[in-house]
């Protein structure tokens, strides 16, 4: 089936948030009295799910809503930028009449904070709080296809992490590796490996 719509991961794919997101977790854990964690430990916890779930995992105990707010307080005001070529690629998508769609494991709240900080607007945003199962389950990709009104097989999900590519496969969608992202692993199976964002436009038929 031809690719009709692109769906993007956010962290490490649209946004170079390599430093700011783990740093926010590190500071939040310290404020909440948890054992010190490193940025690498925060990144390793990403598969746990939403920021709320990651933070509780890192702190080592259940957290109340006012405690999970600490992460967002630390994330507020973060300076984050799109990767080179992203702004132009998203503009080209819209010129073709395609939606700019994002599925991220981050919460919708956190995603909006980072996208706003980077000056990006999206048409469809699905956060980790919109799905029951986090990546590598395909739930978020399936929901994106539903909202875009296309079959899952007509979606290409673009992400830097192996979890992104596994989520695409689980949904029956095309998996495109964002080779510019910080979690890119050339050994992870993908339908396509994209060297730069604008290459994604070539997936559309």
Per-residue model confidence (pLDDT) at position 165: 98
Nearest partner of 7 among 109, 125, 91, 110, judged by Cα = 125
Distance (Å, whole) CA 151 – CA 148:
9
pTM of the model: 0.95
CATH fold, domain 5-17+81-203, is Rossmann fold (3.40.50)
Q: Measuring CA to CA, how many Å separate 56 from each of 27, 34, 60, 111, 191? A: 13, 10, 6, 19, 35
Per-residue model confidence (pLDDT) at position 38: 98
pLDDT along the chain (205 residues), means of 10: 94 96 98 97 95 97 96 96 98 97 97 97 97 96 98 98 98 98 97 98 94
Q: Where are the domains of the chain?
A: 5-17+81-203, 20-75
Per-residue model confidence (pLDDT) at position 205: 82
Report the Cα 80 to chain-centroid distance in Å. Answer: 14
Per-residue model confidence (pLDDT) at position 1: 65
């Amino acid at each position: 089936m031809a690719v009709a719509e692109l769906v993007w991961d956010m962290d490490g794919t649209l946004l170079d948030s390599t430093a700011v997101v783990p740093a926010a977790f590190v500071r939040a854990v310290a404020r909440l009295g948890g054992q010190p964690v490193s940025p690498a430990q925060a990144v390793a916890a990403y598969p746990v799910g939403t920021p709320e779930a990651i933070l509780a995992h890192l702190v080592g105990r259940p957290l109340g809503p006012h405690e999970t707010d600490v992460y967002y307080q630390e994330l507020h005001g973060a300076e984050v930028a799109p990767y080179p070529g992203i702004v132009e690629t998203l503009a080209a998508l819209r010129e073709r009449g395609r939606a700019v769609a994002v599925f991220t494991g981050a919460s919708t709240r956190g995603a909006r904070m980072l996208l706003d900080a980077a000056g990006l607007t999206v048409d469809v945003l699905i956060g980790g709080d919109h799905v029951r199962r986090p990546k590598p389950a395909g739930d978020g990709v399936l929901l994106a296809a539903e909202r875009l009104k296309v079959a899952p097989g007509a979606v290409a999900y673009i992400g830097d992490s192996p979890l992104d590519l596994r989520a695409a496969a689980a949904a029956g969608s095309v998996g495109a590796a964002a080779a510019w992202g910080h979690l890119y692993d050339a050994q992870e199976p993908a339908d396509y490996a994209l060297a730069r964002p604008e290459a994604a436009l070539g997936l559309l038929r």
